[in-house]
């Protein structure tokens, strides 16, 4: 009966098709849908009508779409409908709404609406076919193959490593003979962010500092001709006199690791490298200044800065970007013990500055301080550090954008331009002397690791603290605490750790390839 229904649908192409998802789900039993699951599916994009006689479809398959495009209510942006039996090669076709065809830059949202709509719509279509257990899905490029690929790869990801019931695996590929290079680039961008998501989502008893470093080493192994990796042990950290980093790590039984990655994408160039620094706290209990138990499990992702930085370098290597990048990730746990930092302790950073540790839960800035000092030894073109640094950043911007503190207008423009393309936005925050004075007014040391007025301007005083360890003219601090996880704000990401802003860092690095 399912076969006869299939051919009956094909024979009625001249008539408007009103076979919508709800109807087919009632009529077709799982056994009768077996022919769908064993073959390919297609995700097809459609724009909103601009005129009464305009379907605004993207005709990538030889089917009379005019007969069904207008059937039923208008297809809204981000919504989908499933049709069966429309094409002999694609028993299941998911039509997704792309909204209005407005490819230009939206100054109000600081992104390209069309790209974001494509990512969201394609992810919805791919998930619909994943629910039907269709193993191979061809994706309409929708006018932007890279955005379509990103939506497919990001939308299908779900962390299920420790579950018996696995998410159904779906392979996606570009439909038609469009720009395959752009599609493959989008796949790599999406896979890079998914790597960061996987590291951030994994439990902290599995992703220890050593495991994190080993994972990145394995991911970079295929590019060994251009990549050098150093997994620096505790003895090396001591030799470098990184007292701030060591003070955080000493509360845990897990030994610290300082991960150093050299990607030589343009070895013949004399241009100085881009240095990316990521906060790598693989679990943050708060130390002696213990965090509340509610929500503490999410602190397995407090190494999100290191995850995004390292994943962006993996992606840059896969893309063969002609740029030199050095990645630095101080990795350790922040735990309470008899050896842990105590409020009021004084520690010394690599550059000789002393720090009064009044809050052991403000540990990220301590490990970054030493890493930033070390970053200067490479005479970098620019230093960009990323960290889930302050909960107050989430209060300030929520999940709309990553906060950026920078001493360089040029660097800000490069990051902002990259975020417009990826849709993973950044927003500039102030680096006033007003905030610097609050961290340099310390009773016992040169600096205090929290601001003078505690809660006021938390992200800004944290950035001002880091600025005390920077002399480079082009430096940016990305506070990604607000974008660490996703509930339902980003439609093409499932609930969980987001891996943001990995794609923006990759796009930023790619942009430097064209810089003089």
Find out whether 91 and 36 touch, Cβ atoms under 8 Å: yes
pLDDT at 270: 83
For residue 44, CA distances in Å to 137, 395, 466 come to 11, 38, 48
Final residue belonging to a domain, choices 155, 179, 203: 179
Q: Which residue has the tokens 């970079």?
A: 220
For residues 369 and 351, give the distance between their C-alpha atoms in angstroms, rounded to a whole number.
9
Mean pLDDT of 395-408: 98
Q: What is the mean pLDDT of residues 471-488?
A: 98
Q: Which of 85, 82, 72, 69 is nearest to 127 (CA)?
A: 82
Cα 319 → chain centroid: 17
- Per residue in 37-88, pLDDT (tens digit) is 456 999 999 888 766 555 555 544 455 554 455 556 778 899 999 988 878 8
Select from 145, 179, 213 the last residue of a domain: 179
Q: Indicate whether 237 belongs to any domain.
A: yes
State the DSSP string of 255-295: PPEEEEEEEETTTT--PPPEEEEE-EEEEE--TTSPPPSTT
**To the nearest whole percent, how much of the chain has pLDDT over 90?**
80
Answer for the pair 149, 106: CB distance below 8 angstroms, yes or no. Answer: no
The structure tokens 């004084």 sit at: 346
160 and 224 housed in the same domain: no
Same domain, 88 and 224: no
* Residue pair 399/482 in contact by the 8 Å Cβ criterion: yes
Question: Is 56 tagged catalytic?
Answer: no
The mean pLDDT of 433-448, rounded to a whole number, is 97
**Does the pLDDT at position 414 exceed 60?**
yes
Do both 153 and 205 map to the same domain?
no
- Are 348 and 438 within one domain? yes
CA distance 228 to 224: 7
Phi, psi of 328 (to 5 degrees): -125, 130
Asked, for residue 460, whether it belongs to a domain, the answer is yes
Which residue, 427, 458, 461, 434, is CA-closest to 447? 461
The verdict on residue 382 lying in a domain is: no
- H or E stretch including 80? strand 80-87
Note the pLDDT of residue 49: 73
Task: Judge if 346 and 401 occupy the same domain.
Answer: yes
Residues 171 and 307 reside in one and the same domain: no
- Residue range 117-143: mean pLDDT, rounded: 96
- Main-chain dihedrals φ then ψ at residue 338, nearest 5 degrees: -65, -15
> What are the helix (H) ranges across 92-242?
113-131, 145-156, 180-201, 209-220, 234-239
126 and 234 assigned to the same domain: no
Where do we find the tokens 């480079």?
472
**Of 179, 202, 233, at which residue does a domain stop?**
179
Q: Are residues 251 and 399 in the same domain?
A: yes
Same domain, 136 and 21: yes
The 10s digit of each residue's pLDDT in 152-186 is: 999 999 999 999 999 999 999 999 877 899 999 99
What is the band of 206 on the pLDDT scale with cuts at 50, 70, 90?
very high
Dump pLDDT digits (tens) for 76-107.
899 999 988 878 888 999 999 999 888 789 99
Domain of residue 293, residue span: 191-374+388-512
Residue 318 belongs to some domain of the structure: yes
Which candidate in 365, 381, 425, 500 is catalytic?
Answer: 365
Are both 227 and 164 inside the same structural domain?
A: no
Q: How many CB atoms lie within 10 A of CB 6?
A: 17
13, 77, 291, 452: the catalytic one is 291
pLDDT given at position 302 = 98
pLDDT surpasses 80 at 361: yes
How does DSSP classify residue 342?
A: -
Query: What pLDDT band is residue 33 in, cutting at 50, 70 and 90?
Result: very low
How many domains, in total, are found in the chain?
2
On whether residue 195 sits in a domain, the answer given is yes
Which residue did the predictor score with more confidence, 86 or 272? 272
pLDDT at 25: 41
How far apart are the C-alpha atoms of 276 and 278, rounded to whole Å? Answer: 7
Query: What integer best gives the mean pLDDT of the chain?
Result: 90
CATH number at residue 350: 3.40.630.10
Select from 330, 253, 334 the least CA-distant residue to 300: 334
> What's the rounded mean pLDDT across residues 189-198?
98
- CATH number for the domain including 140? 3.40.220.10
Same domain as 364, residue 252: yes
Pairing of strands 227-232, 257-264: antiparallel
Q: Is residue 82 part of a domain?
A: yes
Q: Please determine, for residue 28, whether its predicted confidence score (pLDDT) is greater than 80.
A: no
**Helix 180-201 to helix 145-156 angle, to the nearest 10 degrees?**
30
Whether residue 185 lies inside any domain: the answer is: no
User: Is the Cβ–Cβ distance between 150 and 186 less than 8 Å?
Assistant: yes
Backbone CA torsion sign across 352, 380, 411, 224:
negative
Instruction: For residue 182, give both structure tokens.
Output: 């752009």
Q: What is the pLDDT of residue 407?
A: 98
pLDDT of residue 244: 98
- Spell out where 402-484 has E strands: 402-406, 426-428, 447-448, 475-479
pLDDT at 16: 35
pLDDT at res. 88:
82
Asked, for residue 355, whether it belongs to a domain, the answer is yes
Q: Is 365 a catalytic residue?
A: yes
Verify that 426 and 474 share a domain, yes or no. Answer: yes
Is the peptide bond prior to 96 cis by the omega test (within 30 degrees of 0)? no
């Amino acid at each position: 009966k399912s076969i006869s229904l299939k051919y009956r649908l094909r024979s009625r192409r001249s008539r408007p098709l009103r076979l919508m998802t709800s109807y087919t789900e009632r009529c077709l039993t799982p056994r009768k849908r077996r022919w769908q699951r064993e073959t390919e599916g297609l995700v097809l994009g459609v724009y909103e009508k601009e005129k009464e006689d305009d379907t605004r479809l993207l005709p990538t398959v030889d089917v009379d779409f005019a007969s069904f495009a207008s059937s039923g209510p208008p297809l809204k942006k981000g919504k989908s409908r499933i049709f069966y039996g429309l094409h002999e090669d694609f028993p299941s076709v998911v039509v997704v709404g792309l909204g209005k065809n407005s490819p230009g830059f939206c100054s109000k949202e600081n992104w390209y609406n069309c790209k974001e709509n494509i990512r969201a719509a394609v992810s919805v279509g791919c998930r619909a076919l994943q629910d039907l257990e269709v193993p191979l899905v061809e994706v309409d490029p929708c006018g932007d193959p890279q955005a379509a690929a990103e939506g497919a790869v990001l939308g299908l990801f779900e962390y299920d490593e420790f579950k018996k019931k696995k998410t159904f695996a779906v392979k996606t590929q570009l439909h038609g003979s469009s720009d395959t290079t752009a599609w493959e680039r989008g796949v790599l961008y999406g896979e890079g962010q998914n790597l960061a998501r996987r590291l951030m989502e994994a439990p902290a008893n599995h992703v220890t500092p050593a495991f994190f470093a080993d994972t990145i080493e394995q991911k970079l192994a295929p590019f060994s001709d251009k990549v050098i990796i150093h997994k620096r042990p505790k003895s090396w950290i001591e030799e470098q006199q990184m007292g701030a980093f060591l003070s955080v790590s000493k509360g845990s039984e897990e030994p610290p690791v300082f991960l150093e990655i050299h990607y030589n994408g343009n070895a013949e160039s004399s241009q100085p490298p881009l240095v990316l620094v990521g906060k790598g706290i693989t679990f943050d209990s708060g130390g002696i200044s213990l965090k509340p138990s509610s929500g503490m499990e999410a602190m397995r992702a407090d190494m999100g800065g290191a995850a995004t930085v390292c994943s962006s370098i993996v992606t840059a290597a896969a893309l063969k970007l002609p740029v030199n990048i050095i990645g630095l990730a101080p990795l350790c746990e922040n735990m309470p013990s008899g050896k842990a930092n105590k409020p009021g302790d004084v520690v010394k950073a690599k550059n000789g500055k002393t720090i009064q540790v009044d809050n052991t839960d403000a540990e990220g800035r301590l490990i970054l301080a030493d890493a930033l000092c070390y970053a200067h030894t490479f005479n970098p073109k620019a230093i960009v550090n990323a960290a889930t640094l302050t909960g107050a950043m989430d209060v300030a911007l929520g999940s709309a954008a990553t906060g950026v503190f920078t001493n360089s207008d040029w660097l800000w423009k490069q990051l902002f331009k990259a975020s417009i393309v990826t849709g993973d936005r950044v927003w500039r925050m102030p680096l006033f002397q007003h905030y610097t004075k609050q961290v340099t007014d310390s009773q016992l040391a040169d600096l205090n690791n929290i601001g003078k007025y505690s809660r006021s301007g938390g992200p800004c005083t944290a950035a001002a603290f880091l600025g005390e360890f920077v002399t480079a003219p082009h430096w940016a601090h990305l506070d990604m605490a607000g974008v660490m996880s996703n509930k339902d704000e980003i439609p093409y990401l499932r609930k969980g750790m987001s891996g943001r802003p990995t794609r923006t860092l990759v796009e930023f690095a790619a942009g430097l390839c064209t810089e003089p």
